Amino acid sequence: MWTLTVLLLLVPSSGEAATLEKPILSLHPPWTTIFKGERVTLRCDGYHPLLLELRPISTLWYLGHLLLPSHKKTIEVQAPGVYRCQTRGAPVSDPIHLSVSNDWLILQVPYAAVFEGESLVMRCRGWYDKVVYKLHYYRDGQAVRYFHSSSNYTVPQARTSDSGRYQCSGTMRIPVESAPMFSAKVAVTVQELFPAPVLRVMGHVEARGATPGGVVVRCVTRLHPHKRDTPLQFAFYKYSRVARRFDWGAEYTVPDPEVEELESYWCEAATATRSVRKRSPWLQLPGRGSAPDLGFTTAPAPQPAALAPSNKPLSFRKPPAVSRSVPYVTSNPNTTSSGLLFRVGGAPTVGPPACAPLSPLEQSAEGLKPGVDLLLQEMQLLKSLLSRVVLELKEPHALPALAGTPETSTSQIAVSRGTPETTPGES
């Protein structure tokens, strides 16, 4: 029974293990690429429980899926691969990728993630620290910096736009100056510290004594999990005017007299040093920008086409479209050209389904239609007379064959009322 009690004291509770965080794995010197034969130091910082054991094991080291024999807090390595560490009861740390190169020139970048606003440092290093001359740094194939001799490339306040594939080139004197040599390309990613904030309405507060009432708005954003301890400050603006300068509070109360102008507000989040600052969009109130209620709208009345002056072409207004389900309605002499009147949202009181009223131009076209038909008939008769005259001129002897055929008199030609008769002599 006594042995069982001691065993329970040596094993940490499940609740304690659940609250432990990942240990932090660091690299010294802080470069992910080294030359063949060099050694670097790995350090694992995390929770180390003080337990009485015959063989205390505080740290576990992994190279890939292989468990290394060392249990110390720091180890020296020179083999390439992915390294991780783990302390008792805690999750496995984030990995570190170590590369070993046998090239004349290597580009060394930080092993840890670089966040917005932090300094980004890269080093172009010659074989065993030989001086590199005519040094160029490239990002995504474009030259970004030139140095006469060996020098680090530094971005004081990195941005996400500084991410890319970097490379360096230069010459070395071995023993005379060599041709330009290029390093391998290395991917560099600048992490986002926090996304652009969003201004949200939290609620309304009533006035109490000397404290004025208003609407509470909050500038909402979220820090990266690895940087959740970074303090942020917030400022609020109405149009381009500062409503409240940078402060640690993420909330602001819009006074009651200005509540009607809530959509003119926006906010800004920034680090204490202002190395990273981002603004929000304008405040979006719920329900704004939705489609209007069409239950109370009416269609505008169709406008007649305008008749242009005689020296200008006619301009037409497109008539409103008629539903295909409405049957075609012929003109009715008892129906006026002004069309039928309907109530909005109701059925017609009298008559057939509604059609769009005819414009003045369409009415004039309807009046000219009978005259056009009569003119076509007259042209057909005139064509037959001309054919007979041509036949008489070409073949005068052919006329007796047609003697039995009565000639077409001009009285048989349909003539429109009010127009003079057409005689053969006049044609």
Task: At 221, list the tokens.
Answer: 């954003």
Of 28, 32, 91, 85, the residue nearest 60 (C-alpha)? 85
CA distances to 130, 132, 182, 351 from 172, in Å: 7, 5, 11, 99
Q: Which residue shows structure tokens 């042209």?
A: 379
Would you place residue 26 in the very low, low, confident or very high pLDDT band (cuts 50, 70, 90)?
A: very high
| Cis previous bond, 29, omega within 30 | yes
Q: What is the pTM of this model?
A: 0.58
pLDDT in tens, 30-88: 999 999 999 999 999 886 555 544 455 679 999 999 999 988 999 999 999 999 999 88
What does residue 184 show for φ and ψ, rounded to 5 degrees? -75, 155
pLDDT in tens, 117-162: 999 999 999 998 899 999 999 999 999 999 999 999 999 999 999 9
At 274 the pLDDT is 94
Would you place residue 357 in the very low, low, confident or very high pLDDT band (cuts 50, 70, 90)?
A: low
CB-CB contact of 198 with 281 (8 Å): yes
Any idea what DSSP says for residue 20? P
**Quick check: 410 pLDDT over 80?**
no
CB-CB contact of 58 with 71 (8 Å): yes
Which of 198-212, 309-323, 332-346 has maximum average pLDDT?
A: 198-212
Type of residue found at 97: H
* Residue 92 half-sphere exposure toward CB, CA atoms < 13 A: 13
Q: Which residue shows structure tokens 């140095």?
A: 147
What does residue 371 show for φ and ψ, rounded to 5 degrees? -65, -35
At 398 the pLDDT is 53
Of 166, 41, 188, the residue nearest 114 (C-alpha)? 188
Mean pLDDT across 211-218: 87
Q: Which residue shows structure tokens 């489609």?
A: 291
At 418 the pLDDT is 42
Q: Which residue shows structure tokens 């054919």?
A: 387
The whole-angstrom separation of Cα 303 and Cα 293 is 25
| Strand pairing report for 114-115 and 190-191 | parallel
| Strand pairing report for 251-255 and 265-271 | unpaired
Would you place residue 248 in the very low, low, confident or very high pLDDT band (cuts 50, 70, 90)?
A: very high
At 90 the pLDDT is 86
CA distances to 97, 179, 185 from 107, in Å: 15, 18, 8
Any idea what DSSP says for residue 386? H
Sequential DSSP letters for 266-316:
EEEEEETTSSSEEEPPPP--TTTTPPPPGGG--PPPPPPPPPPPTTS----
Mean pLDDT across 384-413: 59
The larger pLDDT score, comparing residue 360 to residue 253, is at 253
Sheet architecture: strand order including 96-101: 33-35, 96-101, 81-87, 59-63, 66-67
At 254 the pLDDT is 93
pLDDT in tens, 218-230: 999 999 998 999 9
- Give the rounded distance of the alpha carbon of 164 from its chain centre: 22
Which of 17-26, 267-276, 334-343, 366-375 has maximum average pLDDT?
A: 267-276
Of 38, 39, 80, 88, the residue nearest 63 (C-alpha)? 80
Mean pLDDT across 179-187: 94
At 378 the pLDDT is 81
Torsion, Cα 141 142 146 151, to 10 degrees, reads: -50
Helix (H, G, I), strand (E, B) or coil at 144: strand
Adjacent-strand bridge partners of 61: 85
Helix (H, G, I), strand (E, B) or coil at 42: strand
Please report the domains of the chain, with CATH numbers, ordered by start residue.
18-100 (2.60.40.10), 103-191 (2.60.40.10), 198-279 (2.60.40.10)
End-to-end, the C-alpha distance of the chain in Å comes to: 139
The whole-angstrom separation of Cα 307 and Cα 313 is 9
Torsion, Cα 67 72 76 80, to 10 degrees, reads: 20
| Strand pairing report for 33-35 and 96-101 | parallel
- Beta strand ranges found along 102-210 (DSSP E): 105-108, 114-115, 120-126, 133-139, 142-149, 153-155, 164-171, 181-182, 186-188, 190-191, 198-205
Adjacent-strand bridge partners of 348: none
The whole-angstrom separation of Cα 380 and Cα 387 is 11
